A and B are shown apart, each in its own frame.
Chain A
């Protein structure tokens, strides 16, 4: 049992995947000698060589497009997109090629490509470094989309994503990379990748989150407990496919749900989750499913990002509105 940050958990998970399967390759900008701008691939090139940890030219479409070819040759590329806002040059390759080749080929060609994207804000960065594009990928059939929220999940989920025969968009909450440490037991049995998890039990309201907002929602639930409100928190973990069975069970118990994410509310993941809860739990609901998230504006200059991002108070505000309904 060791205490690790999310960055170390991911690094250890990548290392384990590369040790287990010689077909696993890591590629991206600055992933080699530098170990990535967030050091997630630190030390991997030294140990696995330049053929398996590939410093790519500075071209995102090129990274994903060549990964497609390597996957066709039997490799399992793990691509790093340096920041969320830089994924768009690769958007065509991801949406039109990576996502569709299995379908186009009647299942003859598999695309076991993992695309790691550090996402979300809160690090005081300049424009294009703090975005949450998950809904764009969850809206694309053929892709699977997951988001880790803690060091232990980081370790297991990256290995499970790499082992998956389908393309996985792997979202990493960048502001958590070097934040909290957790006990990692590498001999434990991991939870399956495409499943959600109740991370705090409660009876008055169900709070749904993923990635960086899980921590915020846990803190919100703790604060609400001080006011006598019992909040259940679910870490969705997988955004496509969604695993809402545990969510429905929770909402049928609590009768109320709030979905929180950093991404813009309009047509975000919360909209889909709210629609499905409404379809499945209609007679259990005591109030409409509420959403709390980023406003429908481009990401703001960093000096006001803490106001723009949903924080503990805005989550609690939504909780109060739901409970008061």
Chain B
């Protein structure tokens, strides 16, 4: 076996070959800034900019617009605090693992706040910001990572699916749920309180999964009201986006027969505007959209990962300059839309949230070993009931009561 890497031939020109133009001529090279198609409404420096197709706040009064942006700032700050606190809890051994969202706050809060009550979101395991927008107590996010449950919110009540760990599987669930909305007549009626959409969250790595591609096909075929919201955070654990795709991800949508758009995933105004428009398309019955939120995983894949083994610190430093929260803070303070008292109040709220998580995490109830038998089926089977009874008898044969766990 040769030690040398395989030679990479120079891309030959395809002009006149009969196979169309060279791919790089059509889509351009990958660019760290997301390329010319990036929808951006707030620059990393905190300057508002115009976009021909998407806008923020044009339907709001100045006061309402400022209040909404302050709300985004608060949401993102608190979401980051959830992430920081959970990471610390993992370091202290209170959580087995934590999937960090650091850097993806704008993508999640912008899209999460664009949802209406009747919309339904299907998350991966990193959508802590979207969960926040759906009104889920962040304490409920910790159970999965602490190992006391697999998720403890009611998906139907919260309109937020349980965290899905098998990559991309939830995009099909989202598409099926959207097909259900169609059959319920909850699409395209014109009633803003009735028409509903579904959003499927996934990442750049998931774009390689068969399920995601099948979800695209089903959604296109049935014109299902689903928004495929891809947070391209550039890294699938250690593998860069170039391993997953030769073309910008949002362009893939065209091949499936629906529109795709790339948005600055670190710009909460833009992610809100684009998600809002895509969700409305879905609610109106115009079918699916792929939104690629171009962002960056500033932390590790999870707390067990070590990014220094596969990526350069310069890359992280570059993205730190595009921090999603700092640009909103700069915009608000520079334009007199938020004063020190507001910023301080958010900080205090973040402290309180951190305390809530620390104290609540310790107090999360431990599962009973007998619980597992009761949740496998809606209609319990005799053989599992028998297995449960046998195990309960076994536990009772020790001095420690069954409900508090087996002796060690």
Interface string of A86-104 (1 = CB under 8 A from B): 0001001100110001111
Residues facing A in B162-194 (CB within 8 A) are 162, 164, 166, 169, 171-184
Question: Known interface pairs A65-B211, A105-B162. Does A241 touch B384 (Cβ–Cβ under 8 Å)?
Answer: yes
Are A73 and B374 closer than 8 Å at their CB atoms?
A: no
Are A106 and B149 closer than 8 Å at their CB atoms?
A: yes
Closest chain B residue to A238 by CB distance? B381
Residues of B within 8 A of A67 (CB): 176
Are A241 and B177 closer than 8 Å at their CB atoms?
A: no
Size range of the chain A interface in the assembly: 35 or more
Question: Known interface pairs A68-B172, A103-B376. Does A241 touch B218 (Cβ–Cβ under 8 Å)?
Answer: no
Q: Taking the complex as formed, is A265 at the interface, i.e. its CB lies under 8 A from any CB of chain B?
A: no
Q: Taking the complex as formed, is A165 at the interface, i.e. its CB lies under 8 A from any CB of chain B?
A: yes
Q: Taking the complex as formed, is A28 at the interface, i.e. its CB lies under 8 A from any CB of chain B?
A: no
Q: What are 26 A-B residue pairs whose CB atoms fall within 8 Å in the complex? A: A51-B183, A57-B217, A59-B214, A59-B217, A61-B211, A65-B173, A66-B176, A66-B179, A66-B215, A69-B122, A69-B176, A69-B177, A69-B178, A73-B181, A75-B180, A89-B210, A92-B166, A92-B169, A93-B172, A102-B375, A104-B162, A107-B374, A109-B162, A165-B379, A166-B378, A194-B381
Q: Taking the complex as formed, is B299 at the interface, i.e. its CB lies under 8 A from any CB of chain A?
A: no
Residues of B within 8 A of A103 (CB): 150, 372, 375-376
Residues of B within 8 A of A59 (CB): 214, 217-218
| From B150, B169, B183, B184, residue with most partner A Cβ within 10 Å | B183
Question: Known interface pairs A56-B218, A57-B214, A96-B169. Does A66 touch B175 (Cβ–Cβ under 8 Å)?
Answer: yes
Known: A57-B217, A69-B175. 13 other contacts (CB 8 A): A57-B218, A62-B175, A62-B211, A66-B218, A69-B179, A70-B177, A73-B177, A92-B211, A97-B164, A102-B377, A103-B150, A166-B379, A241-B381
Interface string of B344-382 (1 = CB under 8 A from A): 000000000000000000000000000010111111011
Are A108 and B155 closer than 8 Å at their CB atoms?
A: yes
A57 to B256, CA, bound (A): 13
Q: Taking the complex as formed, is A110 at the interface, i.e. its CB lies under 8 A from any CB of chain B?
A: yes
Residues of A within 8 A of B376 (CB): 102-103, 141-142
Are B383 and A68 closer than 8 Å at their CB atoms?
A: no
Q: Taking the complex as formed, is A261 at the interface, i.e. its CB lies under 8 A from any CB of chain B?
A: no
Closest chain A residue to B168 by CB distance? A65
Q: Taking the complex as formed, is A144 at the interface, i.e. its CB lies under 8 A from any CB of chain B?
A: yes
Q: Shortest beta-carbon distance, B163 to chain A, in Å? A: 9
A242 to B384, CA, bound (A): 11
Interface string of A54-85 (1 = CB under 8 A from B): 00110101101111111111110000000000
Q: Taking the complex as formed, is A164 at the interface, i.e. its CB lies under 8 A from any CB of chain B?
A: yes
A141 to B174, CA, bound (A): 24
Residues of B within 8 A of A107 (CB): 374-375, 378
Are B383 and A241 closer than 8 Å at their CB atoms?
A: yes
A152 to B92, CA, bound (A): 61
Size range of the chain B interface in the assembly: 35 or more
Residues of A within 8 A of B211 (CB): 61-62, 65, 92-93
Are A70 and B375 closer than 8 Å at their CB atoms?
A: no
Question: Known interface pairs A57-B214, A165-B378, A166-B378. Does A73 touch B176 (Cβ–Cβ under 8 Å)?
Answer: yes
Interface string of B279-302 (1 = CB under 8 A from A): 000000000000000000000000
A68 to B381, CA, bound (A): 22
Residues facing B in A117-166 (CB within 8 A) are 141-142, 144, 164-166
A51 to B180, CA, bound (A): 10
A75 to B183, CA, bound (A): 10
Q: Taking the complex as formed, is B37 at the interface, i.e. its CB lies under 8 A from any CB of chain A?
A: no
Residues of B within 8 A of A110 (CB): 378
Q: Shortest beta-carbon distance, A87 to chain B, in Å? A: 15
Are B180 and A62 closer than 8 Å at their CB atoms?
A: no
Q: Shortest beta-carbon distance, B371 to chain A, in Å? A: 8
Are A72 and B381 closer than 8 Å at their CB atoms?
A: no
Residues facing A in B133-154 (CB within 8 A) are 149-152, 154
